[in-house]
Amino acid sequence: MKIDKCPVCGVDKKIKVFNSKILPEYALLYSNTYNQSVNVKRAEENYVSCENCGFLYNNQFKQLDYKEPAYDASRMHSIFIKNY
């Protein structure tokens, strides 16, 4: 779903910041093999900054289904979290 207006202030003027069509669809997807890692599903991301308020967002936003079994956003294995 393409986002034409800034989600914060509603203005439709934006500045292009970064675009890529080869980023992994899930940033926190864990793979067991090299081949799984290099063959993950890719997604287009197009980051823009609002000229009015400066908010940075991906205007090619796509809501993902985080029920993917290999997706892990937990911080349970972080040494910093454990020490805290």
pTM: 0.63
Give me 63's structure tokens. Answer: 């809501």
Please check the confidence at residue 5 and state whether its pLDDT lies above 90: yes
Report the pLDDT value the prediction gives residue 25, as an integer from 0 to 100: 82
Handedness of CA 20, 25, 29, 31 (dihedral sign): negative
> Averaged over 30-54, what is the pLDDT?
91
User: So what's the pLDDT on residue 20?
Assistant: 93
pLDDT at 75 over 70: no
Helices (H) and strands (E) in the chain, counts: 2, 3
Pick the closest to residue 75 from 65, 84, 66, 62 (CA basis): 84
